């Protein structure tokens, strides 16, 4: 074979691996019990009895203390709803500590009206959730709770979820992540539906598949419980775009990889305005791609050095790019393989690319059918090509002008959701 054939084989192989990983995770996710899978996609429903869930959780060991830490930057539009649900998850409002971080609105005053503890931080030179969390943890040094729960101020936890992740974190002495899902805004567009489906794959389908394999999960930024001894070992004081993913890598290598609690759920809302949606997706995906580029080699090196299969699997999972980008990469590999074959090259790259496409299609259909069909109608799948076109500029800017600073998403989406 000529050198061109080898290049095409490499390109098709690079696409085949993440498609195979994605298919494996989606197939394994099907093994979750019908009882659990029926509950997971129900975002913060009140159908569960609070008393029955609380009694079930408290049947275990409760000889420990926990605190809820909530970073909040100009969250006056959504923090009331969040705290309204959250204070039912704790024994007293004083178990919730809100860090009003560089706020210029009524966030602190609203939080205090719920009886929770509030501390205020002003440091415009150091913006980002990581700085707020570090400030809150230093405040908790006087208390040193056994478990600390991190919850964003624009999220709502389903009844019993906080208790569940706290219990599991204390029992296993490891970080625990609840399932974090996104609601679509009222009258969602096709793009909103596809975006919600992509989020569902990232935070539900794939983590459940990993859990079924007995593997750890990724922290997703909210709905996380940490033993005190664990969280004080990691650095939070940064403006990292995806500090949760970086923290996951650091904890996994240190031997405290996060666990998924599939019976706990926390929900947010996708932005309703195009500018906010683009801002949010840019931060998430640029951060994801930057972490993929820098941390996959680090995980592989640690997996070899420590002889740990879980680190290898985390590296493979992290190596799966966002779904829209994966489809673009697959399309590029198919076109390149077809061009190579047309000028007399080997057909093998085209065969490998076709296999990768089959893996990708089956994975998406399986995940959608089992977990997402009540959220996203099949007709919305037809909008996938337009969704991918919308994402192309986002990936182009990553190549030439990647976002490096943490920028908070405009909370107008919460106003729309409440109106």
Instruction: Report the pLDDT value the prediction gives residue 96, as an integer from 0 to 100.
Output: 97
pTM of the predicted model, to two decimals? 0.83
Looking up tokens 């056994």 gives: 146
Instruction: Report the pLDDT value the prediction gives residue 244, as an integer from 0 to 100.
Output: 86
Using one digit for the tens of pLDDT, what is the confidence trace for 52-68?
333 444 444 557 899 99
Instruction: Report the pLDDT value the prediction gives residue 205, as an integer from 0 to 100.
Output: 95
Instruction: Report the pLDDT value the prediction gives residue 388, as an integer from 0 to 100.
Output: 82
The mean pLDDT values, 10 residues at a time, for the chain of 419 residues are: 85 96 96 54 40 42 84 92 93 95 94 96 86 93 95 92 95 95 80 86 94 94 94 73 83 94 89 56 74 92 96 95 91 94 92 96 93 84 78 77 58 40
In a domain, 333, yes or no: no
Q: Which of 99, 90, 85, 84 is nearest to 66 (CA)?
A: 90
Instruction: Report the pLDDT value the prediction gives residue 236, as an integer from 0 to 100.
Output: 76
Instruction: Report the pLDDT value the prediction gives residue 129, as an integer from 0 to 100.
Output: 85
Total domains, the chain: 1
In a domain, 263, yes or no: yes
In a domain, 399, yes or no: no
The enclosing domain of 79 has a CATH number of 3.90.550.10
CA 235 to chain CA centroid, Å, is 19
Residue 403: partners with Cβ closer than 8 Å, 6 or more residues away: 241, 282, 283, 286, 287, 397
Phi then psi for residue 169, to 5 deg, are -65, -40
For the beta carbon of residue 117, count every other beta carbon within 10 angstroms.
Answer: 17
Say if CB 73 and CB 406 are below 8 A apart: no
In a domain, 143, yes or no: yes
Instruction: Report the pLDDT value the prediction gives residue 271, as an integer from 0 to 100.
Output: 66
In a domain, 4, yes or no: no
In a domain, 380, yes or no: no
Q: Range of 44's domain?
A: 22-316
Instruction: Report the pLDDT value the prediction gives residue 394, as an integer from 0 to 100.
Output: 75
CA torsion angle 120 124 125 130 (round to 10): 50
Can you tell me the distance from the alpha carbon of 30 to that of 370, in angstroms, rounded to the nearest whole number?
A: 7
Q: Give all strands of the β-sheet with 117-121 in edge-to-edge order.
A: 117-121, 96-101, 66-72, 147-150, 224-227, 176-183, 259-269, 156-157
In a domain, 346, yes or no: no
Instruction: Report the pLDDT value the prediction gives residue 381, as an integer from 0 to 100.
Output: 79
Q: What's the number of CA atoms in the CB half-sphere (13 Å) around residue 178? A: 35
Instruction: Report the pLDDT value the prediction gives residue 277, as an integer from 0 to 100.
Output: 53
In a domain, 77, yes or no: yes
């Amino acid at each position: 074979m000529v050198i061109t054939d080898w290049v095409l084989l490499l390109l098709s192989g690079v696409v085949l691996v993440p498609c195979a990983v994605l298919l494996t995770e989606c197939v394994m996710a099907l093994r979750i019990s019908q009882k659990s899978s029926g509950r997971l996609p129900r975002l913060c429903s009140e159908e569960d009895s609070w008393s029955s869930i609380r009694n079930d959780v408290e049947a275990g060991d409760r000889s420990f203390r926990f605190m809820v830490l909530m970073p909040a930057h100009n969250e006056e539009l959504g923090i009331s709803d969040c705290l309204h649900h959250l204070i039912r998850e704790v024994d007293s409002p004083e178990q919730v500590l809100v860090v009003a971080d560089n706020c210029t609105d009524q966030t602190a005053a609203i939080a205090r009206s719920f009886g929770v503890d509030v501390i205020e931080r002003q440091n415009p030179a150091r913006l980002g959730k990581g700085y707020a969390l570090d400030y809150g943890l230093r405040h908790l040094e006087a208390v040193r709770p056994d478990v600390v729960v991190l919850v964003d101020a624009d999220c709502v936890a389903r009844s019993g979820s906080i208790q569940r992740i706290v219990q599991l974190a204390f029992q296993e002495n490891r970080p625990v992540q609840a399932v974090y899902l996104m609601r679509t805004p009222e009258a969602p567009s096709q793009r909103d539906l596809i975006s919600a489906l992509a989020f569902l794959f990232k935070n539900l389908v794939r983590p459940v598949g990993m859990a079924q394999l007995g593997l750890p999960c990724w922290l997703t930024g909210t709905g996380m419980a940490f033993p005190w001894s664990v969280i004080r070992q990691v650095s939070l004081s940064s403006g990292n775009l995806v500090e949760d993913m970086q923290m996951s890598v650091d904890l996994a290598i240190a031997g405290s990889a996060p666990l998924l609690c599939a019976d706990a759920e926390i929900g947010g809302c996708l932005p309703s305005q195009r500018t906010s949606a683009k801002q949010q997706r840019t931060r998430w995906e640029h951060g994801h791609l930057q972490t993929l580029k820098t941390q996959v080699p680090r995980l592989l090196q640690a997996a070899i050095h420590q002889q740990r299969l879980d680190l290898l699997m985390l590296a493979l999972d992290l190596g799966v790019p966002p779904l829209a980008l994966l489809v673009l990469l697959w399309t590029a590999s198919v076109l390149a393989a077809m061009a190579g074959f047309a000028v007399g090259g080997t057909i093998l790259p085209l065969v490998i690319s076709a296999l990768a496409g089959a893996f990708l299609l089956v994975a998406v259909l399986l995940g959608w059918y089992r977990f997402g069909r009540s959220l996203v109608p099949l007709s919305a799948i037809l909008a996938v090509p337009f969704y991918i076109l919308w994402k192309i500029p986002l990936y182009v800017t990553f190549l030439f002008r990647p976002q490096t600073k943490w920028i908070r998403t405009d909370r107008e989406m919460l106003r729309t959701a409440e109106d």
